[in-house]
Amino acid sequence: MKLIVLKTNLRDGLGIVGKINSETPSLPILKNFLLETVDNQIKISTTNLELAITGYVSGKIIENGGLTIPLNIFSAIINNLQSERIELETEKDNLIIKTENYEAKLQGIKKEDFPLLPKVENSENYIEIQNSILKKTLALVMSAAQASNARPVLNSILLDFQTSFIKLAATDGFRLAEQTISESYYKTNLEKNIKMVIPLKTIQELIRIIQDEENGNIRVYFDNNLIIFKNNKYEVISRLINEEFPNYDPIIPKVINTEIIVNKNQLISALKLTGVFSDRLNEIKINIPKERKNIEIYSSNSFVGENKYLIPAKIKGEPLEIVFNWRFITDGIKNLETENVFVGLTSDKSPALVKPASDSNYFYIVMPIKA
């Protein structure tokens, strides 16, 4: 293999594949990435056996081939080179890196020893959606997932395709987030409903990759146990979780006794400020008085002290005192783009419904801390 590539392009490609391979130290070759030429393209790939990421890099291919190279060492070399033009050439199981004033020989492992990357057999049925829409939607729901491997289905995102809309949801048992995407925001040739449970790690990597890819679209393909997110710059292939996502419809409040509309930024500030005095459970108490124009957020700690914060709000319904984990509420509203937030309450022991005051496509449910 022999290539000529620009440092900027190579560095961008390395940034796409990330460091998912560093999480499985028991298999040394997974600390390497695969550098290869396929169909007149330069591909760099990493995998941890559950998730594989491939980036496509522009460059000049002189001779085809492939080799696996330690990712951390190679990235350190590339990031510190001063020259923009880089020559890469394989010599047996070594990679020669050359610029006009630098040369290195890096020991690799032959391509054939690298684990086979999973492939999605279905290349016909797809969902195509704008990068920015997908990124925003995933960011809204992922905050409700549980970052733990104890129960994989709670460490995941549900993708529920229903032909005329898509729902994405996440829950950790204490909170739930759901976002609906109407059919005007995506294209598809699917004709039947399908549900997929996607690992949270996959979603986190996808959001990281498309962070600077606001324009353009991404296609989603899948089969029985795999899903792939793909465009002309990268592919993210992941195994799906083979568990049924919890039926969360019963916990969605059907009756709202107390309605609050409050400024999002003021509410976040109040939660963070009063949360300074909360205990290890992050408890804060919200007091909703009858026929007043303010809600009171209060917290105390026997070792620190106490504080309270009054926020102007539109209040309708019954007075109520209710205790929450302030971090859980904040996670549900911090990514909202609307100015005001709607909070719906049933009782001090029932879940609260949080959503944008002017948008019905997203909601967040959080359980109170029972006294």
- CATH code for the domain in which residue 268 is found: 3.10.150.10
Amino acid letter, residue 294: N
**Alpha-carbon distance values, 250 to 52, 227, 247 (Å):** 36, 29, 7
Shared domain check, 140 and 47: no
Shared domain check, 83 and 7: yes
33 falls within a domain: yes
244 falls within a domain: no
Contacts of 363 (CB under 8 A, 6+ apart): 177, 178, 252, 353, 354, 355
Helix (H, G, I), strand (E, B) or coil at 15: helix
Shared domain check, 297 and 222: no
Phi, psi for 90 (deg, rounded to 5)? -90, 140
Q: Which residue, of 210, 239, 268, is where some domain finishes?
A: 239
119 falls within a domain: no
Contacts of 78 (CB under 8 A, 6+ apart): 7, 10, 11, 14, 86
DSSP track, 165-234: EEEEEEE-SSEEEEEEEEGGGEEE---S-EEEEEEHHHHHHHHHHGGG--SSEEEEEE-SSEEEEE-SSE
How large is the average pLDDT for residues 86-113? 96
233 falls within a domain: yes
pLDDT recorded at residue 214: 60
Q: Which residue, of 206, 239, 272, is where some domain finishes?
A: 239
Shared domain check, 141 and 219: yes
Shared domain check, 233 and 136: yes
Shared domain check, 87 and 134: no
Q: Which residue, of 113, 144, 178, is where some domain finishes?
A: 113
207 falls within a domain: yes
> What share of the chain has pLDDT > 70, as a percent?
97
- For residues 121 and 223, is the Cβ–Cβ distance under 8 A? yes
pTM assigned to the model = 0.91
What does the buried/exposed string (b/e) look like for 116-145 if buried means 16 or more CB atoms within 10 Å of the residue's CB?
A: ebbebeeeeebbebbbeebbbbbebbbbbb
Shared domain check, 265 and 218: no
Instruction: Give the integer Cα–Cα distance in Å for 120 and 79.
Output: 33
pLDDT at position 149 over 80? no
Quickly state the pLDDT bin for 146 (edges 50, 70, 90). Answer: confident
371 falls within a domain: no
121 falls within a domain: no
Number of domains in the chain: 3
Shared domain check, 100 and 144: no
Domain encompassing residue 312? 252-366
Instruction: Give the integer Cα–Cα distance in Å for 270 and 267.
Output: 5
Shared domain check, 195 and 262: no
pLDDT recorded at residue 21: 66
pLDDT at position 212 over 80? no
- For residues 288 and 324, is the Cβ–Cβ distance under 8 A? no
Q: What is the pLDDT of residues 181-200, one digit of tens each?
A: 999 999 999 989 999 999 99
pLDDT recorded at residue 25: 58
pLDDT recorded at residue 213: 55
Shared domain check, 136 and 233: yes
Quickly state the pLDDT bin for 370 (edges 50, 70, 90). Answer: confident
45 falls within a domain: yes
pLDDT recorded at residue 291: 73
Q: What is the pLDDT of residues 169-184, one digit of tens each?
A: 999 989 999 999 999 9
Retrieve residue 273's tokens.
Answer: 């400020």
Shared domain check, 143 and 52: no
pLDDT recorded at residue 292: 79
Shared domain check, 355 and 323: yes
Average pLDDT, the chain: 92
- Tell whether the torsion through CA atoms of 365, 241, 226 and 67 is positive or negative: positive
- For residues 135 and 173, is the Cβ–Cβ distance under 8 A? no
Helix (H, G, I), strand (E, B) or coil at 303: coil
